[in-house]
Amino acid sequence: MRHTTVSSFVTELLSINAMAMALIVKDEVSNVHLLNDSWKLWYWKFSGTVVPDANWTDNLHGLCEFDSVEKFWRRLYGKYIFNHIKMPSMLTTGCDYSVFKSDIKPMWEDPSNKNGGRWLIKDNGLLDQYWMDILLSMIGGMYDPYNDNICGIVYNRRQYSKISIWISSCDTNIVNDIGSKLKHYLGTKEKFKFEKHSEFWKKKINSHKKMYLGQMTQTNV
């Protein structure tokens, strides 16, 4: 049974109960419930062809930013852009959604990301639900004392889709604490994999080298 639901997170965030009160600052002047950080929603559009790493950012688009509970719901689900925001599973295969702190780009080369890694969750039929649960826990600052190590969340829409929560450190204590809280908020005991960005890209580079060498061999035959 799931321990936590989207509705319970929303209730915590919008009602400013005992837990959320410690995580969200209320602006007394404007009566806006500010988040601890400003966040940005990104969309990576699949062009239909394989995109070289050097041109990857050409397909990356920033959609909107938010720094309060009110802006989050209005910007992501307000009427004026509602028709442009689909649930992740409705994206075209090959496209990505990501939400990162506003000063961090959703790419491993960003200084805040390059020495860290990601917790990976493979498609299990619950990724839309997981996306919302993780997103709300993330912007609500539910990973204390390591909220500063949370960079963002990525949804990769593929034949076998996946979600990953990116963190800035590979320190064992930080990684395990965030992973434990993540599983608790999702109400699951399934195994998640942690992957260092450096190891992932090393594998990718080696894969590209093998592909290139294979092509050269075929060309020379």
Q: Is residue 198 in some structural domain?
A: yes
* pLDDT score, position 26: 54
Q: Which two tokens stand for residue 168?
A: 């800035």
- Domain span at residue 147? 6-220
Q: Is residue 95 in some structural domain?
A: yes
* pLDDT score, position 214: 42
Q: Is residue 56 in some structural domain?
A: yes
Q: Is residue 112 in some structural domain?
A: yes
**Do 165 and 134 meet the contact criterion of CB atoms below 8 Å apart?**
yes
Q: Is residue 1 in some structural domain?
A: no
Count Cβ atoms within 10 A of the Cβ of residue 200 and give its class: 0-12 exposed, 13-18 middle, 19 or more buried: middle
Single pTM value for the model: 0.76
Q: How far apart are CA 56 and CA 118, in angstroms?
A: 19
* pLDDT score, position 55: 65
Helix (H) or strand (E) holding 183: helix 172-186
* pLDDT score, position 75: 60
Q: Name the residue with tokens 């049974």.
A: 1
Q: Is residue 89 in some structural domain?
A: yes
- Structural domain count, the chain: 1
Q: Is residue 71 in some structural domain?
A: yes
Tens of pLDDT along the chain (221 residues) come to: 444 444 344 334 433 333 343 344 555 556 778 899 999 999 887 766 665 555 667 778 888 888 888 787 776 655 444 345 678 888 888 888 899 999 999 998 899 999 999 999 998 889 989 998 999 999 999 999 999 999 999 999 988 899 999 999 999 999 999 999 999 999 998 899 999 998 866 665 554 434 334 433 333 32
Q: How far apart are CA 208 and CA 215, in angstroms?
A: 11
Q: Is residue 121 in some structural domain?
A: yes
Which CATH number goes with the domain that contains 76?
3.30.760.10
